[in-house]
Amino acid sequence: MKKKFIIIFMIIMFALTACSIKDGVTSNSGNEQNEQTPEEPIKEEDEETEESEETEESEETEESEEIDPVAAIDLSIEPNELGEIMILMYHGIGPEESVWQRTPENFRKDLEYMYQNKYQMISLNDYAKGEIKTKAGYTPIILTFDDGRQNNFNYIEQDGELIIDPDCAVGILEEFKEKYDDFDVTVSFFLNANPFGQKEYTEQKIKWLVENGYDIGNHTYNHYELELLSSDEIQAEIGSVNNIIKAIIPDYEVETLALPHGSNPKKENLEIMLSGEYEGNKYKTIATLDVGWRPAYSPFDTLIDFNSLYRVTASEINVDNCGIYDYFKSFENGTRERFISDGNPEVVTIPKKHEEYLNMDMVGDRIVNIYE
Ligand SMILES: [Zn+2]
């Protein structure tokens, strides 16, 4: 009897492996649940003689039970995948605190707060695709830096060696990566004509960022207000930055755009902002960022507009109750609802009261899980 069970078990395992290889082509997540039932077990009495005995006990405990992905979700953490997500807008990191610059100490304070209060950094690209891989019970948060300032990514010489300045944005982010190995550190840098100063290191910096899990976004070549530009000018502004990155990493796709001065293009020029071609290279924009003043909607919310995403200014001064800690506080005291992940990127779990806001186009093939 046991031997028969082992044979069936092996057939099931084989069938499951075959399914997941096939599914792997279109699926982007490692933990999809295969619902397929394996084929009818074939009667294989004749093979009963050849099975090994040494594996019997261990096999028995690993029964091939199907895990229901919805049943596996812990509702006691009150998942809410229609809650808000903050896209934080940083500019400089430097000695003087201002609306457009955070001191290294304050940036460290922000990161520490995020880590201690169950925020987990995700990339803007994943957000725009609805691929939220945040741990169960945690809230995704997106960090963006505009203008490609040298103090975002600065190399300095120390004892004849080139090192990353420990007080520039990248230096501080790397410090946190070391400090907390369960803290997913990623940031999008929105670049203009001259990324991060230090021209001699531009190529090295761009490559280093992409190799180390950071993202590059477009902030246009000259930082003009798009509202004032023609279609051709917009194409050149976006295309030129795209081409700088393409020349360094040909297969990297710059898919996100931060609007200079938060200025949206005229309606008739929206198309050219979203896709175009400039001097031989195509570009495509899947997420466009405004300048401020409130958390963004969940990507699964019907109210989302990926062509004009809200951001929160990562500052504590002159922000009219719309700064980073004002919103952290509102999430804490429940005056606003934060996105709380169910831990499974293939399932979208929401409280019933928000059901009418669920954007099924974004949900796509994911499983919807609504609870009271
Ligand atoms: Zn800017």
pLDDT digits (tens, 9 = 90+) for 307-362: 999 999 999 987 888 999 999 999 999 999 999 999 999 999 999 999 999 999 99
Q: How far is the CA of 146 from the centre of ligand 1 (A)?
A: 5
Q: How far is the CA of 155 from the centre of ligand 1 (A)?
A: 22
Q: How far is the CA of 354 from the centre of ligand 1 (A)?
A: 35
- Residue 370, pLDDT score: 97
Q: How far is the CA of 304 from the centre of ligand 1 (A)?
A: 23
Q: Which of 190, 193, 282 is nearest to 237 (CA)?
A: 193
- Residues in the chain, pLDDT under 50: 1-3, 5-58, 60
Domain boundaries, the chain: 2-61, 75-371
Tell me which amino acid residue 345 is: P
Q: Check if the beta carbon of residue 170 is closer than 8 Å to that of residue 143.
A: no
Q: How far is the CA of 312 from the centre of ligand 1 (A)?
A: 14
- Residue 61, pLDDT score: 52
Q: How far is the CA of 201 from the centre of ligand 1 (A)?
A: 21
Q: How far is the CA of 257 from the centre of ligand 1 (A)?
A: 11
Q: How far is the CA of 223 from the centre of ligand 1 (A)?
A: 6
Instruction: Tell me which of 3.40.190.10, 3.20.20.370, 3.90.280.10, 2.30.30.30 is the CATH number of domain 75-371.
Output: 3.20.20.370
Residue 215 is given by DSSP the state E
- Residue 272, pLDDT score: 98
Q: How far is the CA of 20 from the centre of ligand 1 (A)?
A: 44
Q: d(Cα 314, Cα 101) in Å, to the nearest integer?
A: 9
Q: How far is the CA of 193 from the centre of ligand 1 (A)?
A: 12
Angstrom CA distances, 331 to 119, 258, 340, stand at 11, 25, 11
